[in-house]
């Protein structure tokens, strides 16, 4: 396996990882930030509110974008496993 091929595999891995995990992390971040601002403005400090909002945001993101993210992950796994003949030489 050439170094160029190895770098291409690592680049594809990082790209798919960002596509699959990025929206979930952004949803949790935005949900937590919104709840934090609201809790600061209203001076209500309840940890369960932040957890519920973040969990709901992550679930909504998975429902909306889950099929696309799963398709990307399966395509990457299929392509990687089919190219093992080139990697193992």
- CA-only gyration radius of the chain, Å: 19
Q: What is the C-alpha separation between 68 and 62, in angstroms, rounded?
A: 9
Query: What are the boundaries of each domain within the chain?
Result: 13-82
Give pLDDT, residue 17.
95
The mean pLDDT value for 24-30 works out to 96
Give pLDDT, residue 88.
67
With the C-alpha atoms ordered 34, 38, 43, 46, is the resulting torsion angle positive or negative?
A: negative
Q: What is the pLDDT of residues 41-85, one digit of tens each?
A: 998 888 888 899 999 999 999 999 999 999 999 999 998 888 877
With the C-alpha atoms ordered 72, 73, 76, 81, is the resulting torsion angle positive or negative?
A: negative
Q: Cα torsion at 56, 58, 64, 68 (round to 10°)?
A: -170
Give pLDDT, residue 28.
95
């Amino acid at each position: 396996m050439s170094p160029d091929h190895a770098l291409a595999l690592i680049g594809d891995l990082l790209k798919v990882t960002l596509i699959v995990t990025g929206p979930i992390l952004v949803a949790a971040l935005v949900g937590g930030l919104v709840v934090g601002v609201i809790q600061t403005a209203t001076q209500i400090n309840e940890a369960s509110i932040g957890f519920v909002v973040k969990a709901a945001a992550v679930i909504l993101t998975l429902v909306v974008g889950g099929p696309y993210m799963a398709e990307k992950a399966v395509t990457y796994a299929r392509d990687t496993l089919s190219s093992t003949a080139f990697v193992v030489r």
